[in-house]
């Protein structure tokens, strides 16, 4: 028969700890606990001897707590990661710096076999653009050059623009277009210059002295092949024309043959005129180079000397870390379903283990009779 | 370590299994394992007694599992050991208390052994059982109520 005055777990804890009982039931429960506590019997002597016959364990090593280990390992790993990124970045920065000192990494574009030369940004005043040998080996070339210069202020910008026009005229060229904008000490200008190809190197050299070169870009396109083709075609047509005229002047042609020859002669002359015009255009392109001179008063994008190396190294290091972080995020996203399934599986396994354990312990009787005889 | 805690661990296993011979075997196995893995014991995580009782519990559960598998393999139903007049848990328990204890489940005897007999505090007992503190208190309250009821029933009988 169950007693109506049930004892709450919290009150039971107090009674076990020695609190004074308030009711008979509490007193009985406390008495029960005392009886259980006082009924402890020592382990059998044979068990004690059995255990004491074992050798003593080796001294326990002092363990490093997980917290201390984490406090040391995490900063160490971060330090190694950052140092590695800086080393890689420094190597990349040095490469970039070396290229800057050379002045020109060369890239070739495929377009009527042009040759592209791009100058890296440099703040060295008066750095000369790469020499192009405008009439290299006499070959016809179409040269398109872009030069960007930084000047101190708006006044110098105006003076430099005037000087550029004067230089180009002195070299036999002309200013095709000009735009100048100034506002106080700031300003920018753009001049499109046409310069005889033979003088393009001199022009580039003299123009670069007007300020600090911050960028340069050149596209050269070989026109000689096209020109040679045109010349050979023209020569072939000239020969065909002479042959046709000789035939017409021979007086041996029938009326029909004469007519056909005259038609053919007319067609040849027309084609020759067209080829002449093409040759003229190609020759004109090869005769002068287009130079675009951009002047500005903006600060240089890149630093100088050592600062650019450090900046480049730091930037490369940050890029590397950024890429590593992006890769980590990508992997986390890709692997997250597997991780989730793993966690769910682990929790299910633990839950099952707990249920099995509870089932084993809920047996009223011992699991099985002991194989050894009971005493 | 063995000298200090052998009595407590043996008593715990005795109440858990209600089988003196099995308790003795499991206690020996517990201390054998403890001596082997002693270097891995971290005193910051639990006291020696808690660590040993947790190990003893694990070993006892392994024994129960193996026994259950064996009986399933032999295609026998669970063997109910016949209650015998002289069957008792060694100790100075009164006959009513002894009979009442044997009528409890292993889980109920286990929590009584830890909290009452060995005087573990609530946190240490919960750590051994692998449950929360409040769950441990609730389990103890139920076990003691049931023990009291069984004692009354035996007394009446």
User: pLDDT per residue over B44-65, tens digit each?
Assistant: 888 889 999 999 999 999 988 8
pLDDT at residue A57, as a whole number:
64
* Residue of A161 and A68 predicted with greater confidence: A161
Model pLDDT for residues A251-266, shown as the tens digit of each residue: 888 999 999 999 999 9
Mean pLDDT of chain A: 79
A83-135 residue pLDDT tens: 777 776 655 544 444 433 333 333 333 344 445 444 544 444 444 444 554 44
Q: Is the dihedral of CA B28, B47, B116, B91 positive or negative?
A: positive
What's the mean pLDDT when you consider all of chain B? 83
Side-by-side strand order, sheet with A186-196 = A106-107, A114-119, A212-222, A141-150, A288-296, A186-196, A174-183
Highest mean pLDDT among A113-122, A286-295, B97-106: A286-295
d(Cα A176, Cα A168) in Å, to the nearest integer? 11
**Strand partners of residue A149:** A213, A295
Using pLDDT thresholds of 50, 70 and 90, give the confidence band for residue A308.
low
Residues of A in contact with B38 (CB under 8 A): 57-58, 60
Percent of chain A having pLDDT more than 90?
37
Give yes or no for B69 touching A (CB within 8 A).
no
B30 touches chain A (CB under 8 A): no
Q: What angle do CA A153, A155, A159 make, to 5 degrees?
A: 115
B99 or A170: which carries more pLDDT confidence?
A: A170
pLDDT at A65 (0 to 100): 66
List Cα–Cα distances, B31 to A235, A366, B51, B52, B91, in angstroms. 111, 22, 11, 8, 22
Burial of A138 (0-12, 13-18, 19+ CB in 10 A): exposed
Residues B106, A360: C-beta atoms closer than 8 Å:
yes
Q: Which of B109, B102, B99, B98 is nearest to B60 (CA)?
A: B109
pLDDT at residue number A318 = 83
Q: Do B2 and A52 touch (CB under 8 A)?
A: yes
How does pLDDT run across B119-128, given as a tens digit for each residue?
898 899 999 9
d(C-alpha A239, C-alpha A272), whole Å = 11
| pLDDT given for residue A109 in this prediction | 38
Least confident of A81-85, A111-115, B115-119, B131-135: A111-115
The pairing of beta strand A114-119 with beta strand A186-196: unpaired
The chain B residue lying nearest A56, using CA atoms, is B35
DSSP assignment of A209-242 equals TTSEEEEEEEEEEE-HHHHHHHHHHHHHHHHHHH
Q: What is the mean pLDDT of residues A290-304?
A: 75
Q: Which of B2, B42, B147 sits opposite A32 (nearest CB)?
A: B147
Closest partner CB to B68 (pick from A60, A360, A373): A360
> ipTM value of the model?
0.75
pLDDT above 70 as % of chain A: 76
- The percent of residues in chain B predicted with pLDDT above 70, rounded, is 87
Chain A residues inside the 8 Å CB shell of B148:
3, 28-29, 32
Highest mean pLDDT among A131-145, B21-35, B89-103: B21-35
Chain B residues touching residue A360 (CB < 8 angstroms): 61, 64-65, 68, 106
CA dist list (Å): A54 to A101, A154, B33, B35, B69: 77, 96, 11, 8, 31
Query: Which pLDDT value is given to residue A62?
Result: 60
Question: Looking at the predicted structure, is the pLDDT value of residue A202 above 90?
Answer: yes
Please state, in angstroms and rounded to a whole number, the distance separating the CA atoms of residues B61 and B126.
16
Chain B residue closest in CA terms to A359: B107
CA distance linking residue B53 with residue B1, whole number of Å: 13
Q: b/e for A336-353, b at 16 or more Cβ within 10 A? A: eeeeeeeeeeeeeeeeee
d(CA A309, CA A313): 6
CB distance A192 to A178 below 8 Å:
yes
Q: Which residue has the higher pLDDT, A33 or A171?
A: A171
User: What residue of B is the nearest CA neighbor of A12?
Assistant: B141
């Amino acid at each position: 028969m169950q007693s109506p005055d049930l004892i709450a777990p919290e009150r039971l804890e107090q009674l076990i700890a020695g609190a004074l009982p308030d009711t008979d039931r509490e007193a009985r429960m406390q008495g029960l606990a005392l009886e259980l506590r006082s009924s402890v019997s020592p382990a059998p002597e044979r068990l004690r001897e059995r255990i004491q016959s074992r050798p003593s364990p080796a001294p326990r090593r002092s363990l490093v707590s997980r917290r201390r280990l984490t406090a040391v390992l995490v900063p160490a790993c971060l330090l190694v990661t950052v140092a590695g990124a800086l080393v890689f970045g420094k190597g990349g920065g040095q490469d970039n710096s070396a290229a800057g000192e050379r002045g020109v990494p060369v890239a070739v574009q495929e377009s009527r076999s042009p040759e592209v030369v791009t100058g890296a940004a440099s703040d060295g005043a008066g750095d000369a653009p790469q020499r192009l040998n405008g009439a290299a080996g006499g070959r016809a070339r179409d040269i398109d050059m872009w030069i960007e210069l930084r000047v101190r202020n708006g006044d110098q910008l105006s003076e430099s623009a005037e000087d550029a026009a004067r230089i180009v005229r002195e070299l036999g060229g002309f200013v095709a277009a000009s735009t100048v904008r100034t506002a106080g000490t700031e300003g920018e200008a753009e001049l499109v210059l046409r310069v005889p190809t033979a003088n393009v190197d001199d022009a580039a050299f003299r123009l670069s002295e007007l300020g600090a070169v911050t960028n340069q870009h050149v596209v050269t396109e070989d026109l000689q092949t096209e020109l040679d083709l045109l010349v050979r075609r023209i020569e072939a047509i000239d020969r065909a024309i002479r042959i046709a005229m000789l035939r017409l002047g021979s007086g041996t042609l029938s009326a029909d043959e004469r007519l056909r020859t005259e038609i053919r002669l007319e067609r040849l002359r027309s084609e020759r005129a067209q080829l002449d015009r093409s040759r003229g255009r190609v020759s004109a392109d090869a005769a002068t180079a287009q130079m675009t001179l951009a002047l500005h008063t903006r600060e240089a994008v890149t630093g100088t000397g050592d600062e650019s190396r450090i900046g480049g190294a730091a930037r490369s290091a940050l890029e590397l870390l950024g890429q590593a972080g992006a890769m980590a995020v990508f992997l986390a996203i890709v692997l997250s379903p597997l991780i989730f399934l793993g966690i769910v599986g682990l929790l299910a396994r633990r839950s099952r283990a707990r249920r099995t354990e509870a089932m084993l312990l809920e047996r009223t009787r011992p699991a099985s009779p002991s194989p050894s005889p009971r005493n | 370590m063995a000298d200090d805690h052998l009595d407590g661990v043996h008593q715990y296993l005795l109440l858990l299994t209600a089988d003196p011979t099995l308790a003795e075997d499991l206690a020996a196995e517990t201390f054998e394992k403890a001596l082997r893995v002693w270097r891995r014991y971290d005193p910051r995580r639990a006291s020696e007694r808690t660590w040993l009782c947790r190990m003893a519990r694990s070993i006892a559960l392994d024994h129960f599992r193996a026994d259950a598998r064996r009986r399933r393999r032999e295609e026998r139903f669970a063997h109910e050991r016949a209650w015998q007049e002289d069957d008792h848990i060694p100790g100075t328990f009164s006959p009513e208390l002894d009979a009442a204890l044997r009528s409890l489940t292993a889980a109920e005897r286990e929590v009584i052994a830890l909290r009452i007999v060995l005087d573990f505090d609530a946190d240490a007992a919960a750590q051994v059982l692998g449950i929360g503190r409040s769950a441990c208190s609730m389990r103890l309250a139920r076990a003691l109520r049931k023990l009291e009821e069984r004692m009354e029933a035996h007394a009446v009988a």
